[in-house]
Amino acid sequence: MVSPALIFVACRLYNSRVKGIYVATLVEQLPDAVLMISRSLKVGISLINAIEIVSRETRSPTKDLFREVIARTVLGRDLGESLREVAINSKVQEYVFFSTVIGIQISTGGGLAEMLESFGASVKKRIFARKKALALASEARASCYVLGGMPPVMTIVMSLMNPHYMSVLYETGLGRNLMYGALVSFFLGIISMIVISKRVLR
């Protein structure tokens, strides 16, 4: 029978994975959506109509977020406020920045098209930098797998080649103490490498 704790952990891992894909997709699609709004503004289309175009022309999940913004404005909500609420609910920092840019420009005026164009370019740079960090982290993770796999593999190989040589670790008190110390060091090293590789991606 499957343990409820295992089911809970599996569900949490699955939800975390799905959420990560959702956020990554939103961030990946944001520059194109922002540039679409910027170009629409440059040809004289109003901001609300530009956002409506994005809600029709882009792909999900970006399309769904902008549709929600349009739905809120249809009900009489302020555009800047609607954008900010949807951005906060999405829990994507880039969308919060985007809504802040829109809100500031709505209240103060100015060249919104140019501001959005600059913002879209900066988001693209952030995406590129993150992909580069992911590549570096993948290399570090591969090194972690290799370094982590070597001790168990070598232990098995040496046990098969010379069982008497390895039996000292199992049959003597000093050997067992050394083995326990090695295991603790091994797992601490693995945990350290995992933590470091995760911090690189933040």
- Number of domains composing the chain: 2
Q: Which among 86, 113, 129 is the end of a domain?
A: 129
Q: What is the mean pLDDT of residues 87-104?
A: 84
Give the pLDDT band of residue 1 (cuts 50, 70, 90).
Answer: very low
Q: Which among 129, 157, 181 is the end of a domain?
A: 129
> Of 61, 115, 111, which is closest to residue 89 (Cα–Cα)?
61
Q: What is the DSSP string of 43-108?
A: TT--HHHHHHHHHHHSPTTHHHHHHHHHHHHHTT--HHHHHHHHHHHHT-HHHHHHHHHHHHHHHH
Q: Which of 2-6, 147-151, 183-187 has the highest mean pLDDT?
A: 183-187
Tell me, yes or no, whether 148 and 117 share the same domain.
Answer: no
Task: Please name the amino acid found at residue 39.
Answer: R
**This model's pTM is above 0.75:** no
pLDDT digits 0-9 by tens, 123-148: 888 878 777 777 776 776 777 777 77
Tell me, yes or no, whether 84 and 113 share the same domain.
Answer: yes
Q: Which among 102, 129, 156 is the end of a domain?
A: 129
**Do residues 99 and 83 touch, judged by C-beta distance below 8 A?**
yes
Domain that holds residue 164: 134-201
> Of 107, 110, 87, 106, which is closest to residue 30 (Cα–Cα)?
87
Tell me, yes or no, whether 145 and 189 share the same domain.
Answer: yes
Instruction: Report residue 61: phi and psi, to 5°.
Output: -90, -5
pLDDT digits 0-9 by tens, 13-46: 667 777 778 778 888 888 888 888 888 888 888 8
pLDDT digits 0-9 by tens, 51-79: 888 888 888 888 888 899 888 888 888 88
**Do residues 177 and 120 touch, judged by C-beta distance below 8 A?**
no
**Rg (Cα) of the chain, in Å, rounded?**
26
Tell me, yes or no, whether 115 and 182 share the same domain.
Answer: no
pLDDT at 198: 65
Q: What is the mean pLDDT of residues 104-133?
A: 79
